[in-house]
Amino acid sequence: MYLSKNPFLAIVMAVAAIVLSVATHLAADEFNLWSATLQLQGEEVGSAMSLDEVVIGVSSESHVPKPPVPPEYTVWLQLWERDWSGPWYQDVRGDGDVVYFWVVDVNPHGNMPPPPDRCATLSWDPAEFATAGSYILRDGFSTDGPVLIADMRTTTSQVVCGSSSSQHFVIQYTSGSSGPACGDVDGSGSLNLSDAIALVNYIFGIGEPAIGGNKDVNCDGSISMSDVVYLIWHIFGTGSSPCDPDGDGLPDC
């Protein structure tokens, strides 16, 4: 009643509602903007280069070519696109897709003399990943290759061994373009026990409504305590990712 008698206040509140809507939309987009450095640490042999790195991400599109190999090196790391464009030192894709793939070319040996096989450690910092979305490491250069790491947020490295030939891996990023990721029940941007508690509260109608991502984390068509158990198993590193019960890296619901 008061608003109807005060047109100025009504206009102010309408403008505030529009600003809030725009801010919410921008905040959702921020879930997807990120860049991360991949490092390859190899065996130290004399003055040969033993540490290399590349950069992947989703933001303003940017490609930086990989410089030529040095005279002596024990590791080499570079990026390719799916159509074999490259090689790149930095491959940052434009925002807007749902699923992204990077082909990671790893040489764990370099051009130094024997031993015939060497090992190197490919590492990353999950804190540099997008707030929402999933990251999978696959073996080979196929986008449907065997899954080596189903959730790259749960670990920080992969050991690669071999001779001087390159080995290929694919990083698959499925964005959280619609906002909080599946299982992020409290909408905090991360998956932890607070999400399991929020899901229990949601199921029993306790407290504030859960505002986060998909709560049917096991994709059985209903939201129940079985979803809580599924989420807890994932949080402690023994279960599949939320909304991906078959573990193939693609959302099932």
Question: Which phi and psi angles does 222 have, rounded to 5°?
Answer: -145, 160
pLDDT at 169: 97
- pLDDT-based confidence at 174, cuts 50/70/90? confident
Q: How many CB atoms lie within 10 A of CB 140?
A: 14
Contact 11, 87 (CB under 8 A): no
132 vs 8, residue with greater confidence: 132
> Does 12 or 115 have the greater pLDDT score?
115
Average pLDDT of span 116-134: 92
If one compares 226 and 27, the residue with the highest pLDDT of the two is 226
Strands 157-162 and 88-94: unpaired
pLDDT band at 221 (very low <50, low <70, confident <90, very high): confident
Pairing of β 99-107 and β 167-175 = antiparallel
What's the distance, Cα to Cα, between the start and end of the chain in Å? 44
* CA 218/CA 246 separation, integer angstroms: 10
3-state secondary structure of 179: coil
- What pLDDT does residue 66 have? 97
Closest C-alpha among 125, 126, 122, 147 to residue 137? 147
Average pLDDT over residues 172-192: 75
Q: Which pLDDT does position 188 carry in this prediction?
A: 67
* pLDDT of the residue at 210: 59
Could you tell me the domains of the chain? 34-175 (no CATH), 180-253 (1.10.1330.10)
| pLDDT mean over 151-179 | 87
Residue with tokens 């279960």: 239
Which two tokens mark 231?
């989420």
Q: Report how far residue 184's alpha carbon sits from residue 32's, in angstroms, rounded to the nearest whole number.
A: 15
pLDDT tens figures, 65-106: 999 999 999 999 999 998 999 999 999 999 878 789 999 999
**CA gap 166, 108 in Å, rounded:** 8
Asked whether the predicted pLDDT for residue 29 surpasses 60, the reply is no
Per the prediction, the chain carries an average pLDDT of 83
* pLDDT value, residue 27: 39
